[in-house]
Every structure is written in structure tokens, then in C-alpha cells.
């Protein structure tokens, strides 16, 4: 292992990312994507019926949707994230469940199931994205939608295989070290926070997909693309878009 390699350990679990980032999540990521845009579009698509968020985290998106009067459930694999959601959700608006979304989703049928801010890429295990799509298809109402928000990994085979970015916060500096595996589409990262109290390591891992790859996976699991926009305001998706909101419906409603 060279000095910059990150251990490819088997101990990276579905709860690892959430448990590692929960303490800083709301400070670092509250505005990372468009909360109002997400809330408006998901509320619109829901027609007032049940919504399920996959990877609900601390409720950054689920809570504003629930405050519009929409019944919202959320699944997350991280106990630490869900603890913070419970504190934020003092009105007990969200039905939250601790589970790996590639293994289990709550029973019932939903008008909208959504997975925002690249969270679908958090499914890195072999076949995990596929298993999750099967569960989603089984939990969608016949007139329901599965909505995914993700970045477009353009030409990722040509991206550098490793990199370091830094940013400075009020009381610490954070280095984000990434390593891209050449063949698998998996990117492994380590966020290294250097502060007065020492060093905090927060590992993360994603398995990226292009929009075309997502469409193929979805179609292999009974879901067809019905809309693709480049943002939550339904702006047209083009070949230069670096981000997409994709809406799928069941192939056999």
C-alpha cells in the first residue's frame, strides 16, 4: 500500500458514512443542494399522498416536505443520522426506519420514492443498487414515481485516479482525499479534519453511474425513465448538464 492509498477494508458498512458524518452533517451540508426546489417538486409530484425518502439523514429535505402536510417516511442505515433526525423532528412528522435500503423498505405503497444528493451512489456493495431498485418498484403505487438526484460522472474513466482537495472551516481545515478504482466505478474517499482537538477521519465510498447506466439498471428492474431535468425547476437536461433529476415510473403499473 502506498502512502496515499486508503485501506480497502471489509469493515466499510452501510452505516459507516452516516455515522462518520452525522456530527458535522447539518453544519457542512445544510445548503449543499436546493432544499426549496426539492421540496416544491417532490410536494408537487406527491399529490398529497405518501412519500418515502431513501437515505433520509437528519431530515434536511424530508422535514420541509412533511411541513407542507405530506405524509413522509424515511429510511436510513445510520443510527447517528436518525438520532439527529429525531431531535430536529420535534413535531414527530416523519416515520423513520433504521435499515439498509438495499435490503428492506417499509411496507405500503408510495406515490413518490426519492433518493437525493447522490445518495443512490452510496450503495456500493455488489448488486446493492439492483436490489434497491427491485424494492422500490415493489413499493411504488401504480401511478407513482421514483425520483433520483445525482451528478453526471462525465467520462469518469478519464478522470485522475487520485486527488486531494482542501477547505477551511472556522475552527479546522478539511482535506478530502479520493481514490477512484479504475474498473469498478467505485470512488473511495477519506475526509480528514484537522482541528485544535486533533484529527478526525470520516470515510466515504460511492459507486457512480452515468444517467444512461442508471436508465439501464432501472429498466432491468421494472422501471422506465419518464422525465429527466437538470435541476429541481424542470430545466431541460442537456449534454452539458453536470447534474440530473430523473423520474422513473413502473414499467408494469
Beta strands per DSSP E along the chain: 51-54, 72-76, 94-98, 110-115, 140-151, 162-168, 172-180, 186-195, 198-207, 223-229, 243-250
Cβ closest to ligand SAM, residue 4 vs residue 13: 13
152 binds ligand SAM, rule: CB under 6 A: no
122 binds ligand SAM, rule: CB under 6 A: yes
Q: Which of 32, 146, 16 is nearest to 80 (CA)?
A: 16
What does the alpha-carbon distance between residue 116 and residue 243 come to, in Å, rounded to a whole number? 11
Which 203-232 positions form the footprint of ligand SAM (CB under 6 A)? Answer: none
Helix (H) or strand (E) holding 35: helix 35-46
Candidates 11-19, 133-141, 183-191, 230-238; binding stretch for ligand SAM (CB under 6 A): 11-19
Contact between 25 and 84 (Cβ < 8 Å) = yes
* The three grid cell numbers given for residue 96, joined into one nine-digit string: 423513520
119 binds ligand SAM, rule: CB under 6 A: yes
Question: In degrees rounded to 5, what are phi and psi of residue 57?
Answer: 60, -135
112 binds ligand SAM, rule: CB under 6 A: no
Candidates 4-12, 57-65, 167-175, 181-189; binding stretch for ligand SAM (CB under 6 A): 57-65
String marking each residue 69-108 x if it binds ligand SAM according to CB under 6 A: ------xxxx--x------------------xxx------
List of residues contacting ligand SAM (CB under 6 A): 14, 17-18, 55-57, 60-61, 75-78, 81, 100-102, 116-117, 119, 122-123
Amino acid at each position: 500500500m502506498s502512502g496515499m492509498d486508503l485501506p480497502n477494508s471489509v469493515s466499510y458498512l452501510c452505516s459507516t458514512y452516516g455515522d462518520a458524518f452525522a456530527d458535522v452533517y447539518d453544519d457542512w451540508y445544510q445548503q449543499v443542494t436546493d432544499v426549496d426546489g426539492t421540496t416544491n417538486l417532490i410536494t408537487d409530484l406527491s399529490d398529497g399522498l405518501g412519500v418515502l425518502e431513501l437515505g433520509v439523514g437528519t431530515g434536511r429535505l424530508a422535514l420541509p416536505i412533511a411541513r407542507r402536510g405530506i405524509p413522509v417516511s424515511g429510511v436510513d442505515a445510520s443510527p447517528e443520522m436518525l438520532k439527529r433526525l429525531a431531535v430536529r423532528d420535534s413535531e414527530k412528522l416523519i416515520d423513520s426506519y433504521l435499515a439498509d435500503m438495499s435490503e428492506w423498505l417499509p411496507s405500503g405503497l408510495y406515490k413518490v420514492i426519492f433518493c437525493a444528493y447522490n445518495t443512490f451512489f452510496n450503495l456500493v456493495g455488489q448488486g446493492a443498487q439492483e436490489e434497491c431498485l427491485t424494492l422500490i418498484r415493489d413499493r411504488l403505487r401504480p401511478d407513482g414515481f421514483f425520483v433520483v438526484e445525482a451528478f453526471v460522472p462525465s467520462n469518469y474513466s478519464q478522470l485522475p485516479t487520485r486527488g486531494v482537495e482542501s477547505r477551511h472551516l472556522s475552527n479546522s481545515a478539511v482535506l478530502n482525499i479520493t481514490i477512484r478504482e479504475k474498473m469498478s466505478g467505485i470512488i473511495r474517499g477519506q475526509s480528514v479534519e484537522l482541528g485544535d482537538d486533533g484529527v478526525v477521519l470520516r470515510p466515504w465510498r460511492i459507486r457512480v453511474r452515468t444517467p444512461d447506466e442508471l436508465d439501464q439498471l432501472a429498466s432491468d428492474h421494472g422501471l422506465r425513465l419518464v422525465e429527466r431535468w437538470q435541476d429541481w425547476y424542470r430545466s431541460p437536461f442537456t449534454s452539458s448538464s453536470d447534474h440530473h433529476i430523473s423520474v422513473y415510473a413502473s414499467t408494469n403499473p
